[in-house]
Structure 1
Amino acid sequence: MTIKLSRATLSEIAATATVPAYDQKTLSPGILHFGVGNFHRAHQAVYLDDLFNEGLDHDWGIVGAGVLPSDQAMRDKLAAQDFLTTVVEQDNNRTAARVTAPMIDILPVGDAGAIIAALSDPKIRIVSMTITEGGYFIDAEGHFNPAHPAIQADAATPDQPKTVFGLIIAGLKARRDKGVAPFTVMSCDNIPGNGHVTENTVCGLARLSDPAFAEWIHENVSFPNSMVDRITPATGTREIDILAQDFGVEDNWPVFCEEFKQWVMEDRFPAGRPLLERAGVQFVPDVAPYELMKIRILNGGHAAIAYPAALLDIHFVHEALEHPLIRAFLAKLEREEIIPIVPPVPDTDLNAYFELIERRFLNPKIGDTIPRLAQDGSNRQPKFILPSTADRLARGEDIVGLSLVSALWCRYFAGTSDSGKAIVFNDASAEKLQAAALQARQDPMAFLAFDEIFGAVSGSQHFRTRFAHALETLWTEGTARTLQLYLDDRLAG
């Protein structure tokens, strides 16, 4: 028999899962968060839950907000269980469930009036976001794209914003008009210089309709950079059933994640912040080295194994790392092409960091999937793989492995695995990518024509040659044989 998650059933759930040591009803809002997804609930919300469990900072409760249709399902499911979440942390040697309660509400999805009113509330001192790498309206070079239709629409009607950034601008304007100090804007997405990128998008959008206010934002609003890390797969019936069977808890949308978590952040919060260092957050003067390490080695590693695994019909990430060719491919790529161009990180051995990542990828309990890693490649490749390619090209160094990663992505978008199994895409640009990938079988350069993805890298003759050779080898020899040729140092031709 299962117990349905709610405030009223916490005392019963305490028999099998850890429950909050604080009363959720005593929390008051301090943070408005855009993008209430699995990662937020497994990461930022857990740090706050730890802090609240110590009896600290109960004026920093989370109010959720969303602008996408998918946000409505999350709101409905969480509202039905008093905005509580069961987080299941899984390591190779242990599995533990905990109920977290730092979220006190989710605003009506897409309701600009309600969201702007909350943003203008003096109690809200931090606005945070996990809106995915593709949600920032930036091009392949990381620059704000003012021509995006959603940006143009918000610029034309700034009083009726539809995007997260338009809402933030309207909220800041309402605060200024009321004489309320601005909130801090805190990105928790995997983007190099995520604070700088967020500021550029906010100010860039504001500049299109009110240049003077854009300058005011630049001078008065803080956008700290941060690095966040915790492997958090998507929730499906598998996770819901495991929670019910192993812990007897019925949760509409539980979160499963690894035990490891990390949050490194700049301490720039003029409106105040919770004592997150008490919960394990590392505050540093410069996040960039940690951020680059994680994006290039971990996120780049995920992007590297996603497509060979998909082409070999592998579903789970740990199964991909158990495949000898994929594991060896990742290790060679990281140690020979990625790690050597990652700048030093304070008190960190980069090779030891990669060994930790290998162990995390091998965790069978997480149930992280290759389809999750493979999704949204049009946004992830320019952020996690191609910057390493560009850096090596700038140094005059070879890019056999990194070119192979790009070729594997192209081969994946042809739509079938090596066995002929159909591939289901999850990418906003899937239609045009598949058309280009099919054309690239005869003309490899067709896939490199997307400047918004490949940027200046596609102009390198060396990259074009390596990419074309790797793609041809994948088509003629298959994925497994191509990986072996790379491992034997025979792929370069």
Structure 2
Amino acid sequence: MTVKLSKATLQQLPQNVGVPRYDQSDLKAGIIHFGIGNFHRAHQAVYLDELFNAGTDHEWGIVGAGVLASDETMRQKLREQDWLTTVVEQDSGHRTAHVTSSMIDYLKPGEAANTITRLADPEIRIVSLTITEGGYFIDPASGVFNPEHPAIVADAANIKDPKTVFGLILAGLIRRRSDGTAPFTVMSCDNIPGNGHVTSDAVSGLAALVDPSFADWIKANVAFPNSMVDRITPATTDRERNLLATDFGVEDNWPVFCEPFKQWVLEDHFPTGRPALEKVGVTFVRDVAPYELMKIRILNGGHAAIAYPAALMDIHFVHEAMEEPLIRDFLIKLESEEIIPVLPPVPNMPFDDYFALIVRRFSNPKIGDTIQRLCQDGSNRQPKFILPTTADRLKAGKGITGLSLVSALWCRFCAGTTDSGKPTNYLDASEERLRVEALKAKDDPKAFLAMNDIFGDVGTSPVFVESFSSILRTLWDKGARETLKLYQFNKL
């Protein structure tokens, strides 16, 4: 027998399910968060739940917000259970479940006036975001905000009724300045290098289209702290819902399954205040860049490296990919020989120890993370997680065989079939374009590299072009498995 999750049933849940030690009704709204997806509910919302459980900082409750149709779907599912979420942490040794209650409301997407009013509320002192790498309107190759994007142009023309996250944030700041209210801090929690700077560029870039003087005011008065966030959090399917019901007796519309590990490194720049997150394990630093670069290059770059050979070999789960010696050895060789050697040092963080932790996390058989998830959004992830390392090594005159292999594997994957002929189903804003260019690249590898918005200067490097082209031909001739063998024995 299962218990349907809600505030009314919290005390009826089985004893092996943790419940909040605070009353949700005692929380006050202090944060508006855009992007109430699985990662946010397994990360920021969990840290705040732990803080609230400690009996402190109850003025920092979360109000959800969004702009997409999928945001309304999530809102309805969570509304049915009073904004509660069951978080299941698991690895090979244990599985635990606890209910978080740190979110107290969720603004209806599409109702801009109501969202702007809440953003203007003086009690809201932080606006945070997890809108994915592709949500920032930036050019993939350069990382520069694109003010000519149609959605940005539309918001600039009608800032009183904006449709994008950044239009809403800007409209909220305009209202607060008019009201004489101090601006909120804008805190990105997305996996983007310099995510605070990128967010600042988006907000001030849009503001420049509306009123250049207000863009200057934003740059002078609004804080955009950089952060590094980390927790492997797969998508929720009926598999996870059924596991929760069977193992814990809880019926949750949208539970979150994740690994036990979590990390948050954050620049301490919050002019109007912040919750005391250091009490629950958040690391506050003056400069997050070294931590962020380490994570993006080693972890996110590692995910990108194993995703496409695993997909081409018809492997479903990430831990299954790590059980395949060819993929595991590929990752270890790539990281140790090409990625880690060009990273600047990080205080109190030996790279060998960090990478060993990453290998253990990727190998977790309980998390259920899928190769398909890692393959998504490659046109945004490759320029952020792989190609910068390639550029660094090219500049230093160092070898790039393994990194070229990563890019060639992605190209081969984008052609639309695995080595066995099965379709490669994936999500990418440039999916059709990628497929067309990847198929052209079978005969002319330079066709794929001609996508300058993705490859930038790397795509014109004679060294990279030659390496990529040779490896791509080998992938088409011999397949991923044999190509990985050649790489392992230094024969590519």
TM range (shorter): over 0.9
Corresponding residue of 1:240: 241
Larger mean CA deviation between 265-274 and 143-152 belongs to 143-152
**Which residue identity lines up with residue 271 of structure 2 in the other structure?**
P
- CA distance in 2: counterparts of 1:300 and 1:29, whole angstroms: 36
**Which residue identity lines up with residue 80 of structure 1 in the other structure?**
E
Corresponding residue of 2:199: 198
Corresponding residue of 2:269: 268
Which secondary structure state, in structure 2, belongs to the residue aligned with residue 278 of structure 1? helix
Which secondary structure state, in structure 2, belongs to the residue aligned with residue 286 of structure 1? coil
Corresponding residue of 1:5: 5
Question: Equivalences for 1:63-462 in 2 at 5 Å?
Answer: 63-139=63-139, 140-462=141-463
Which secondary structure state, in structure 2, belongs to the residue aligned with residue 39 of structure 1? helix
- CA distance in 1: counterparts of 2:426 and 2:279, whole angstroms: 41
- CA distance in 1: counterparts of 2:392 and 2:210, whole angstroms: 36
- CA distance in 1: counterparts of 2:82 and 2:14, whole angstroms: 16
Q: TM-score by structure 1 length?
A: 0.99
**Which residue identity lines up with residue 83 of structure 2 in the other structure?**
F
Structure 2: runs of 5+ lacking an equivalent? none
**Which residue identity lines up with residue 416 of structure 1 in the other structure?**
T
Q: For this pair of structures, how many residues does the alignment match?
A: 491
- CA distance in 2: counterparts of 1:471 and 1:200, whole angstroms: 36
Report % sequence identity: 68
**Which residue identity lines up with residue 291 of structure 2 in the other structure?**
Y
Corresponding residue of 2:465: 464
Structure 1: runs of 5+ lacking an equivalent? none
Are positions 1:57 and 2:57 aligned together? yes
Question: In the TM superposition, what is the alpha-carbon distance from 1:110 to its structure 2 partner?
Answer: 2.2
Larger mean CA deviation between 389-398 and 274-283 belongs to 389-398
Question: In the TM superposition, what is the alpha-carbon distance from 1:289 to its structure 2 partner?
Answer: 0.4
Which secondary structure state, in structure 1, belongs to the residue aligned with residue 18 of structure 2? coil
Larger mean CA deviation between 371-380 and 13-22 belongs to 13-22
Matched-pair contact (CA < 8 Å) for 1:20–1:53: yes
Question: In the TM superposition, what is the alpha-carbon distance from 1:50 to its structure 2 partner?
Answer: 0.2
Cα deviations across residues 122-159 of structure 1 (Å, max 9, x unaligned)? 01000000000011111112111112111111122222
- CA distance in 2: counterparts of 1:165 and 1:329, whole angstroms: 40
Corresponding residue of 1:15: 15
- CA distance in 2: counterparts of 1:214 and 1:457, whole angstroms: 33
- CA distance in 2: counterparts of 1:111 and 1:380, whole angstroms: 31
Cα deviations across residues 173-207 of structure 1 (Å, max 9, x unaligned)? 00000010000000000011100111011111110
Matched-pair contact (CA < 8 Å) for 2:304–2:385: yes
Cα deviations across residues 323-361 of structure 1 (Å, max 9, x unaligned)? 000000000000000000111000011011001000000
Corresponding residue of 1:477: 478
- CA distance in 2: counterparts of 1:456 and 1:127, whole angstroms: 35
Cα deviations across residues 86-125 of structure 1 (Å, max 9, x unaligned)? 0000122110000000000110112111110110000100
**Which residue identity lines up with residue 66 of structure 1 in the other structure?**
G
Which secondary structure state, in structure 1, belongs to the residue aligned with residue 33 of structure 2? strand
Question: In the TM superposition, what is the alpha-carbon distance from 1:16 to its structure 2 partner?
Answer: 2.5
- CA distance in 2: counterparts of 1:103 and 1:160, whole angstroms: 25
**Which residue identity lines up with residue 411 of structure 1 in the other structure?**
R
Which secondary structure state, in structure 2, belongs to the residue aligned with residue 31 of structure 1? strand
Matched-pair contact (CA < 8 Å) for 2:230–2:264: yes
- CA distance in 2: counterparts of 1:72 and 1:371, whole angstroms: 24
**Which residue identity lines up with residue 213 of structure 1 in the other structure?**
F
Cα deviations across residues 360-384 of structure 1 (Å, max 9, x unaligned)? 0000000000000000111111111
**Which residue identity lines up with residue 384 of structure 2 in the other structure?**
K
Cα deviations across residues 447-487 of structure 1 (Å, max 9, x unaligned)? 11212211111111111111101100000011001001111
**Which residue identity lines up with residue 137 of structure 2 in the other structure?**
F
Which secondary structure state, in structure 2, belongs to the residue aligned with residue 478 of structure 1? helix
Matched-pair contact (CA < 8 Å) for 2:200–2:219: yes
Matched-pair contact (CA < 8 Å) for 2:14–2:248: no
Which secondary structure state, in structure 2, belongs to the residue aligned with residue 22 of structure 1? coil
**Which residue identity lines up with residue 357 of structure 1 in the other structure?**
I
- CA distance in 1: counterparts of 2:55 and 2:228, whole angstroms: 26
Which secondary structure state, in structure 2, belongs to the residue aligned with residue 319 of structure 1? helix
Q: TM-score by structure 2 length?
A: 0.99
Displaced runs of 4 or more, over 3 A:
none
**Which residue identity lines up with residue 85 of structure 2 in the other structure?**
T
Which secondary structure state, in structure 2, belongs to the residue aligned with residue 36 of structure 1? coil
Matched-pair contact (CA < 8 Å) for 2:14–2:249: no
Matched-pair contact (CA < 8 Å) for 2:85–2:101: yes
- CA distance in 1: counterparts of 2:348 and 2:14, whole angstroms: 39
Question: In the TM superposition, what is the alpha-carbon distance from 1:14 to its structure 2 partner?
Answer: 4.8
Matched-pair contact (CA < 8 Å) for 1:16–1:248: no
**Which residue identity lines up with residue 171 of structure 1 in the other structure?**
G
Matched-pair contact (CA < 8 Å) for 1:71–1:109: yes
Larger mean CA deviation between 154-163 and 95-104 belongs to 154-163
Corresponding residue of 2:45: 45
- CA distance in 1: counterparts of 2:169 and 2:342, whole angstroms: 36
